[in-house]
Structure 1
Amino acid sequence: MMELSGLPAISAPLPWHASVWSRFNRQLQDATLPHALMLAGPSHCGKARLALALSRLLLCKAPSGGLNCGECHACELSASGSHGDWRWLQPEEKSRNIKIDQVRDAVGFATRTSSFGARKVMVLAPADAMNANAANALLKSLEEPSPGTFLLLVCDQLHSVPATIRSRCQIVRLPGPELAVSLEWLDKATGDREESARLLELAEGMPLLAEAMCGRSDAEQLIALRVACRGLVAGKLDVFEASGMLADAPAAEVLDQIAAAVRAVLRGASRAMLTSARGQALFGLLDAVTDVQRALRGGANPNRQLMTEVLLEKLHSILGDEGAGVSIESGSGR
């Protein structure tokens, strides 16, 4: 979850979003920035940080160098998380779902006159955490936007957001960062290129995830979870071993790791493999994992051990005893 109090004076985009950021600045200068943007991309690519930087730029009274100035009263308020023209919707504590009451309150906010300036900003992160009722409640703000109101929707999985929402937003697809850029950025956190490379490889090229591993006391447990699924995919672990390594992990983390492993196989697969029965089975498994993730966000409480064993068995049966037969590299930046 994004922490919105105690922010630095200036919120800048991550280095790998420089081209997108330049486009946003041009659109702002030309008054052509769409009122609804959907920032879509892989997990841990920094979509929420981009939304944060854009929110504060939109609210700033005197932007400087393409960023919020960090000095005006609006920047002081947004840094403390108390700006009256800014709403950030995310799942509440102990929930994985953005609830309809949160959206209804935000819709009311969107229809009111701004308190401090000409613009208001509403962020939903992640937008794919809305259930159908919450998404329907949001439609009014998308269909009848108030002047000067901007909606920023952060999304991992586009197909999990209703088409009625997607069609009313300009979708901005954010790729993962390139390896060289990731390493240079991560070096600032680790202070060691070898450690940066190790963490980045385990994080499948996602430097924000690698940074989280570096800064957490349970980093070794996080690494073990990723190693379990990667080991199964590579044919180095069997289902029993992988399941044992995931035994103490929360259901949400298990699902994230299995989904990441399947996506890694698909990224490294040939065109022939993608169109084969095996490839189609992998896509089907990914859909099944997504369905369980959606149910979990909706409040479902599956048997974690049984869920883990069933999904790992399915993955193993698709790949066979030899594993995927593909190398899962971090350097792709995807």
Structure 2
Amino acid sequence: MQLEGLPAVSVPLPWQAEDWQRLEQQVSEGRFPHALLLAGMPAIGKERLALALARLLLCHRPSAGHNCGECQACELSRSGAHGDFLWLQPQEKSRVIKIDQVREAVNFAHWTAGFGERKVLVIAPADAMNTNAANALLKSLEEPADNTHILLVCSRLHGVPATIRSRCQLLKLAPPDTGASLGWLDNLTGERATSQSLLDLANGRPLLAEQMYRESSADTLLAQRAALGAVIRGEARAVETAAALSDLDAGEFLVLVTDFIEQHLRDLDGSQLAASGPGAFVLLDDLRGTQRAMAGGSNPNPQLLKESVLEQLSRQLGAPAAGAKMLA
């Protein structure tokens, strides 16, 4: 998340209006929880919601249900220089939030606020904390510091330890409404047909659609999915396709294949689903297990991982035979 050069006021996305109304009411009535866990599918704006909440909590004069954009706290949070606001995320190319980062955050949580009444700590993604890091956070959740709020953001709720989940108020964000997503994308693309095409390609995730539009990457994704389709039709070998997808790191590759399988399942009719669905679900479970292992610090060889996954993709979706477990 980029925390410098923010707009004066941070607002939730259109499809978050109902959740925002409840959260803002909790803030205004002094009932906002010490720890809030925001969970939902990727690329739907969870981090943007957390940012809007953080700036509202820090603002000295909230206005119209949002941060005012004019007080000292808003100026500081806008520039990324607010001393009572800490955003924790994996450093550089790491996929993991490490224990040293969490220890720093725990110390931050017990400082006295220097610019207002509250301090805010955001951990995103919370499912990127390794076991030691999650354990280090427990004390701050069990013995909350006065006027300190912790916002945790995750796409894989099962990736957050139960000890952490049980000490947070949980808000599961629903998939975005299609109409609201399209209306929001129309402001970017200026054309409904383009918005619809991008949203379909992004499997209903508007922030992924936005990213593809800004990076002109829709054609690249279509080509990658076409390569996976060729594998399950027996038109391409796993080794060759793995080489063609060499630009993707292991994490990006797993997301690509997971999205492809989920879309493949949605496109099947009843008889097709009965024939190849079980194998597809087995493979999805394997993929998610590998993602969990990588989030915990596992570092598989990217080329071997891709070849193994693509071989299973061919077996599970192209034929009924069961595949072997992936390398993790």
- Same fold by TM-score greater than 0.5: yes
- Output aligned runs, 1:217-236, within 5 Å: 218-229=217-228, 235=233
Q: Which residue of 1 aligns with 2:4?
A: 5
Q: For 2:256, give the aligned amino acid.
A: Q
Q: Against the structure 1 CA distance between its residues 92 and 182, is the aligned structure 2 distance closer, same or farther, given a 3 Å change threshold?
A: same
Determine the structure 2 residue equivalent to 1:311: 309
Question: How far off is 1:279 after superposition?
Answer: 4.9
Matches within 5 A, 1:216-255: 216=215, 218-229=217-228, 235=233, 238=236, 240=238, 243=242, 245-255=244-254
SS of residue paired to 1:159 = helix
CA gap of 1:191–1:238, structure 2 versus 1, over 3 A, is same
- Report the AA paired with residue 67 of structure 1: H
Matches within 5 A, 1:168-247: 168-216=167-215, 218-229=217-228, 235=233, 238=236, 240=238, 243=242, 245-247=244-246
Aligned-residue offset at 1:298: 4.5
Contact 1:239 1:309 in 2 (8 A): no
After TM superposition, the structure 1 stretch with the greater mean CA deviation from structure 2, 33-42 or 290-299, is 290-299
Deviation readout 1:155-211 (Å, 9 max, x if unpaired): 010111111011111111112212221111111111222221221111111110011
Change in CA separation of 1:37 and 1:271 when aligned onto 2, cut-off 3 Å? farther
Contact 1:135 / 1:162 at 8 angstroms: preserved in 2?
A: yes
Distance 1:169 1:269, change over 3 A: farther
Alignment-derived partner of residue 100 in structure 1: 99
Match of 2:67 in 1: 68
- Separation in structure 1 between the aligned mates of residue 16 and residue 270 of structure 2, nearest angstrom: 29
Q: 1:68, CA displacement in angstroms? A: 0.4
Deviations 1:125-144 (A, max 9, x none): 00000000000000011111
How far apart, in 2, do the equivalents of 1:236 and 1:26 lie? Answer: 55
Match of 2:135 in 1: 136
Distance 2:81 2:184 in 1: 30
SS of the counterpart of 1:13?
coil
- Deviation at residue 253 of structure 1 after TM alignment: 0.9
Look up the equivalent residue of 1:307 and give its one-letter code: L
Q: Cα 1:177–1:309, aligned 2, differ >3 Å: closer, same or farther? A: same
Q: For residues 229-272 of structure 1, what are the alpha-carbon distances to aligned partners after superposition, in whole Å with 9 as ceiling and x for unaligned? A: 46667x59655475454233222110111122233455677999
> TM (normalized to structure 2)?
0.88
Give RMSD over aligned pairs: 2.6
Q: Retained in 2: the 8 A contact 1:13–1:53?
A: yes
CA distance in 1 between counterparts of 2:260 and 2:136 reads 35
- 2:46 and 2:230 map into 1 onto residues whose CA distance is 29
Decide whether the 8 Å contact of 2:279 with 2:317 is kept in 1: no
| Residues paired across the two proteins, number | 319
Q: Write out aligned runs for 1:292-311 (5 A).
A: 292-311=290-309
Q: Is the 8 A contact 2:130 2:297 kept in 1?
A: no
Query: Relative to structure 1, is the Cα distance of residues 222 and 26 closer, same or farther in structure 2, using a 3 angstrom cutoff?
Result: same
Task: Write the distance in 2 (CA, Å) between the matches of 1:141 and 1:270.
Answer: 49
Cα deviations across residues 69-92 of structure 1 (Å, max 9, x unaligned)?
000000000001111111100001
**Which structure 1 residue ranges, 4+ long, deviate > 6 Å from structure 2?**
268-274
SS of the residue aligned with 1:74? helix
Distance 1:163 1:264 in 2: 30
> 1:185–1:229: structure 2 CA closer, same or farther, 3 Å change rule?
farther
Distance in 2 (CA, whole Å) between partners of 1:24 and 1:272 is: 44
Per-residue CA deviation, residues 302-332 of structure 1 (Å, 9 max, x unaligned), is: 222221121122233222359xxxxxxxxxx
Please give the alpha-carbon distance, in whole angstroms, between the structure 2 residues aligned to 1:213 and 1:186: 11
1:21 corresponding residue in structure 2:
20
Q: Tell me: CA distance 1:300–1:216, structure 2 relative to 1, closer, same or farther (3 Å).
A: same
The one-letter code matched in structure 2 to 1:288 is D
Query: What is aligned with 1:50?
Result: 49
Does the 8 A contact of 1:228 with 1:237 survive in 2?
no
Distance in 1 separating the partners of 2:12 and 2:50: 9
Quote the offset at 1:300 in angstroms: 3.8
Contact 1:62–1:68 (CA<8 Å) still a contact in 2?
Answer: yes
8 Å CA contact 2:134, 2:161 repeated in 1:
yes
- Secondary structure in 2 aligned to 1:310? helix
Is the 1:38–1:170 Cα contact (8 Å) retained in structure 2?
yes
Task: Decide whether aligned partners of structure 1 residues 303 and 64 sit closer, same or farther in structure 2, where only a CA change above 3 A counts.
Answer: same
The TM-score normalised by the length of structure 1 is 0.87
Structure 2 Cα separation of the partners of residues 12 and 142 of structure 1: 27
Question: Matches of 1:237 and 1:88 in 2, distance apart?
Answer: 46
